Structures are given as C-alpha cells and as structure tokens.
Structure 1
Amino acid sequence: LFFGSLLMLGFGYAGESGLMPALPAFIIGVLFWIYMIYTLWMGEGKEAVLTTSPSVQTAYSTMMWIIIV
C-alpha cells in the first residue's frame, strides 16, 4: 500500500512537471490509486476493520469515502 501510494504520487508528479507525457502518467497514477482502493475495500483493510469496534468501523468508512471522493 505504501509503495502504491508513492508510485501514484511519483507518476502524478512526473506528468505534471513534464518529465513524461501527462496522459500516460495520469493513467498509471490512476491504476495505482485503484489498486490502493481495492486493497483497502476488498483486501487487508476490510479484513482488519471487521475485527474492530463500531466507532473504528465508522471512522474507516469515512476515511474511505474521503479517499474516493
């Protein structure tokens, strides 16, 4: 998840600064963003949040909506 975040930010920076064409950098960055969302919603994040208290589950859900929107 950490490396996905770094790669998303790195490709975003590369596209915006002109180090590489903007559209390919955007597409690659979005793919890493989708990977992170999938990991948090369907993978390790979902497994971890199921064993927590209701208040943590609410906070997790709010955090996920902030990431997506």
Structure 2
Amino acid sequence: MRISPFWKSGVLTLFLLGFATLVAFAQERTVTGQVTAPDVGPMPGVNIVVQGTVQGAVTDIDGNYSITVPGPDAVLV
C-alpha cells in the first residue's frame, strides 16, 4: 500500500502547526508573590501590571498575587 504525497504533507503540516502552538504557549509564565511594606506588613488591594500592557492583577487580603506574564523578560510595576 502506497501513501500519497498529499497525505504525507498534510500530516507533516499538522505536526508542525501543533508544535508551533506548543512553543507559543510555552512562552507564558505565571509569577506569584507578595507585596509587603516594612512598617505595615502585607498590603491588600495593590495593583500589579505588566509594564507596557493592560494585563494586571490585584493583591488579595494577605498581599499575595498571581499573574501570567508573556515571557521571561516581563517587568512588573
């Protein structure tokens, strides 16, 4: 039984698209932390934003936050 060249190229294309999607999603990272002040302790309600974007998070009652950043060089402000 012969496999047609069209079938081979279709399978290869699907494989490459799937791999490219995995690589694209692998760029995002989740950063967690806690915002504190020396004299107050944990700070609830503080805005954390990825610099240059509108992507952000707000600290919880214990000052903890979790935010997904687009890559390893992202700066939080």
TM norm structure 2: 0.32
Q: Comparing both structures, which one devotes a greater share of its residues to helix?
A: 1
Structure exhibiting the larger radius of gyration computed from Cα positions: 2
